């Protein structure tokens, strides 16, 4: 970061300038505390006594994302994917918020979370459910009795579920998985004829048929798209088109066999956002439910009318001064160039903070630059009435239970919310930094457009870690208290009681 010498004090009109001088601050930084921590507030003191970091989930955002996805896809049914604990958000609150938004289906890889939803009171009259990664070792009878649908990808699965149905005296609901080119699950076109022969003996699409005659009720047909998240790449477009055509071929074969399913579903988040023409009977968004697009190439979810629902914040543990030329962390990968304030954020890779989002500098022993994940320290008010955010980045390697911020005029970045760099005098930088206190709440990421516009987001952390947003979300640890905002606005009294009975913390 460039610094502005204190004697440079020209008149400025603020937001029209890329770099703003220190006279844009609404008051001097000396004396009273100029940093405003309201953007990273912690209104839940009880949570800070449990753990010095919190996940805050906006249930209104999840509800609204479901509504937006449904409207975008010709009012097709929406299956909310709640696997991996609702992408780290908490599967029960997520499910209830999704129901409030109009979701009619839930899906998960393993059936465990779906069984819990049934046990707490979300019956088949409120939502259908499907598991697509069940195994023969599980209590399949309990899953079937809970009115949870099964995907089938092999002949042995079809036979096993038919035997199960006879054993429990209840038809088992199935969805035929079609391998249209993803290569993970489903019948290939070559394997389909034998599967259809078996299905014609054991399955029908008529709910009135008896279990003795047709033990399986064929409900759905689905597949998964491999590269729909690259909507501007010609090769990916052609590949997705080929998958769609293959899916249509599968549909024709099922129709000709007299096994037309009532629910056909193909579109994942990427296709739900970019290809409404394949919404069919139902779309199956995963990360889109939580406010994100499927890939950086698609841009932010905000561009599609989605809002990220999750904020991750923490309280600083220790704050102390380090001299210049002082190493930070394992491997001495970061060495201070100037006297710096060292702030410890008490979360690390055991909490799901990616170690690959560590920060290196040329002075470190690896002699390479790598910008670590961003952190919002607070905001300052400008003379023009606007606000600017104070941003720092991880310095040194992320540790098991903590990571470090090295704060100086050269490392702290101040941006207004239009994306302009705010430049202060060296003395004002120093004064701002000196106001950082132990116990201050900082924001690792939230629903904003990114550090350039004043709020770090998950996409920046994923870019720093060279990974995907999915991985970070789903690895957020159980040590984080999860607090749910807008629950009383979004949920019915009965659903609120369900959360409170489960001991789930509700925010404002």
* Per-residue pLDDT tens digits for 265-293: 999 999 999 999 999 999 999 999 999 99
pLDDT tens profile 302-358: 999 999 999 999 999 999 999 999 999 999 999 999 999 999 999 999 999 999 999
| Residues with active-site annotation | 83, 330
What is the structure's pLDDT at 47? Answer: 72
Token pair recorded at residue 488: 């009383």
- Three-class secondary structure of residue 156 per DSSP: helix
Query: Are 311 and 56 contacting, i.e. CB atoms less than 8 angstroms apart?
Result: yes
The verdict on whether residue 184 carries a ligand-binding annotation is: yes
The verdict on whether residue 173 carries a ligand-binding annotation is: no
Query: Are 299 and 288 contacting, i.e. CB atoms less than 8 angstroms apart?
Result: no
Token pair recorded at residue 79: 């299956």
What is the bridge-based pairing of β-strands 505-506 and 482-485?
Answer: parallel
Task: Kindly tell me if the per-residue pLDDT of 224 is higher than 60.
Answer: yes
d(CA 165, CA 171): 5
CATH among 1.10.3720.10, 3.20.20.10, 3.30.420.40, 3.40.630.30 for 59-296? 3.20.20.10
Task: Kindly tell me if the per-residue pLDDT of 7 is higher than 60.
Answer: no
CATH among 2.60.120, 3.40.50, 1.10.10, 2.40.37 for 19-38+317-439? 2.40.37
DSSP string, 186-229: SB-TTTHHHHHHHHHHHEES-TTS-TTT--EEEEEEE---SSTT
Query: Are 386 and 14 contacting, i.e. CB atoms less than 8 angstroms apart?
Result: yes
Q: Where are the chain's structural domains?
A: 19-38+317-439, 59-296
| More confident: 118 or 22 | 118
Other C-beta atoms closer than 10 Å to the C-beta of 156 total: 10
Query: Are 479 and 51 contacting, i.e. CB atoms less than 8 angstroms apart?
Result: yes
Per the prediction, the chain carries an average pLDDT of: 91
Beta bridge partners of 343: 319, 405
pLDDT tens profile 400-458: 999 999 999 999 999 998 889 998 888 888 889 999 999 999 999 999 999 999 999 99
Sheet with 19-20, edge to edge strand ranges: 19-20, 421-422, 413-416, 387-393, 374-381, 441-445, 310-315, 53-58, 482-485, 505-506
Token pair recorded at residue 68: 């937006």
Task: Kindly tell me if the per-residue pLDDT of 203 is higher than 90.
Answer: yes
């Amino acid at each position: 970061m460039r610094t502005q010498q204190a004697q440079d004090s020209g008149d400025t009109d603020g937001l029209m300038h890329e770099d703003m001088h220190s006279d844009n601050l609404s008051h001097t930084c000396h004396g009273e505390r100029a940093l405003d921590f309201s953007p990273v507030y912690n209104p839940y003191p009880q949570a800070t006594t449990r753990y010095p970091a919190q996940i805050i989930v906006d249930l209104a955002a999840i509800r609204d994302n479901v509504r937006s996805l449904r409207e975008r896809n010709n009012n097709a049914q929406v299956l909310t994917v709640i696997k991996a604990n609702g992408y780290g958000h908490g599967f029960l609150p997520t499910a209830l918020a999704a129901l409030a938004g109009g979701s009619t289906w839930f899906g998960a890889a393993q059936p465990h979370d779906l069984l819990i939803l049934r046990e707490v009171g979300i019956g088949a009259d409120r939502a259908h459910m499907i598991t697509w990664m069940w195994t023969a070792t599980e209590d399949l009878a309990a899953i079937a009795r809970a009115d949870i649908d099964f995907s089938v990808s092999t002949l042995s699965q079809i036979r096993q579920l038919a035997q199960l149905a006879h054993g429990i005296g209840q038809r088992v609901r199935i969805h035929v998985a079609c391998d249209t080119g993803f290569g993970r699950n489903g019948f290939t076109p070559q394997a389909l004829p034998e599967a259809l022969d078996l299905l014609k003996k054991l399955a029908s699409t008529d709910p009135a048929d008896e279990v003795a005659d047709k033990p399986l009720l064929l409900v759905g047909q689905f597949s998964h798209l491999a590269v729909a998240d690259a909507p501007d790449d010609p090769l990916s477009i052609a590949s997705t088109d080929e998958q769609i055509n293959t899916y249509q071929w599968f549909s024709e074969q099922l129709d000709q066999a007299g096994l037309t399913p009532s629910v056909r579903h193909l579109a994942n988040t990427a296709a739900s956002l970019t290809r409404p023409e394949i919404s069919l009977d139902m779309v199956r968004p995963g990360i889109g439910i939580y406010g994100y697009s499927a890939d950086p190439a698609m841009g932010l979810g905000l561009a599609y009318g989605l809002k990220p629902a999750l904020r991750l914040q923490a309280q600083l543990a220790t704050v102390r001064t380090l001299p210049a030329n002082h190493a930070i962390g394992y491997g001495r990968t970061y060495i201070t160039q100037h006297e710096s304030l060292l702030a410890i954020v008490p979360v690390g890779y055991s909490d799901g903070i990616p170690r690959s989002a560590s920060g290196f500098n040329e002075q470190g022993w690896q002699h390479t630059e790598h910008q670590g994940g961003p952190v919002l320290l607070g905001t300052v008010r400008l003379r023009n009435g606007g606000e600017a955010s104070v941003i720092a980045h991880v310095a040194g390697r992320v540790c098991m239970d903590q990571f470090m911020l090295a704060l100086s005029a050269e490392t702290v970045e101040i941006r207004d919310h239009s994306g302009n760099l705010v430049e202060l005098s060296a003395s004002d930088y120093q004064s701002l930094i000196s106001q950082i206190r132990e116990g201050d709440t900082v924001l690792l990421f939230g629903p904003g457009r990114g550090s350039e516009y004043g709020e770090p987001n998950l996409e920046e952390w994923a870019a720093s870690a060279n990974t995907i947003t999915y991985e970070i979300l789903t690895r957020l640890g159980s040590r984080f208290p999860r607090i749910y905002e807008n629950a009383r606005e979004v949920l019915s009294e009965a659903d609120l009681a369900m959360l409170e009975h489960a001991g789930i913390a509700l925010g404002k």
